Amino acid sequence: MPQTDTQLIGRGIAFPPRIDVDGRLAWSEGAANVRESLRIILSTERRERVMLPEFGGGLRRFLFEPNTPATHRLIQETVQRAVGRWERRVQLDAVQVLADPDEPRGVIVSLRYRLVATQVADRLDLNLALGA
């Protein structure tokens, strides 16, 4: 019998946490759970989790950095390290950081990745505010 995405990839509490239509805590499964996990990793600062102080992407440290190619490269490297360390269910194909054309102080961080268990390709885009 073939395994389902939930069996291969897993499930966890939905992020952001919310109540489902049945009044219980909502869960996410499969590829959706991986996307939520990536968002959690990249939006969590190091030392923010008391019992796991090294967890997180640490992207908030770029808040007051200039919107330059050098900063984009640092963000790219930070994302690659964090995802490589904390999300073993994906293989990163590419991380691209580009200036947001609609927000002069923002960047768009695009992750293209492949689910290790199924080889299904996916993409996640995040907006990040910078200082200048």
Q: Rounded CA gap, 87 and 83, in Å?
A: 5
Model confidence at 120: pLDDT above 80: yes
pLDDT in the model for residue 132: 59
Instruction: Tell me which of 132 and 77 has the higher pLDDT.
Output: 77
Q: What is the rounded CA–CA span in Å between residue 6 and residue 32?
A: 10
Q: Are 111 and 57 in contact (CB under 8 A)?
A: no
What tokens were used for 27?
């869960």
What distance, in Å, lies between the first and last C-alpha atoms of the chain? Answer: 55
Torsion of CA 128, 25, 22, 31, to 10 degrees: 50
- Whether CATH 3.10.450.40 fits 5-129: yes
Tell me the per-residue pLDDT of 10-58, one tens digit each, with 9 for 90 and over: 788 888 888 989 999 998 888 999 999 999 999 999 999 899 999 999 9
Whether 6 has a pLDDT exceeding 70, the answer reads: no
pLDDT of residue 10: 79
- Please check whether residue 109 is in contact with residue 95, taking contact to mean a CB–CB distance below 8 angstroms: yes
Q: What are the beta bridge partners of residue 11?
A: 29
pTM attached to this predicted model:
0.86
Looking at residue 112, its pLDDT comes to 98
What per-residue confidence (pLDDT) applies to 12?
85
Q: What is the pLDDT of residues 59-104, one digit of tens each?
A: 999 999 999 999 999 999 999 999 999 999 999 999 999 999 999 9
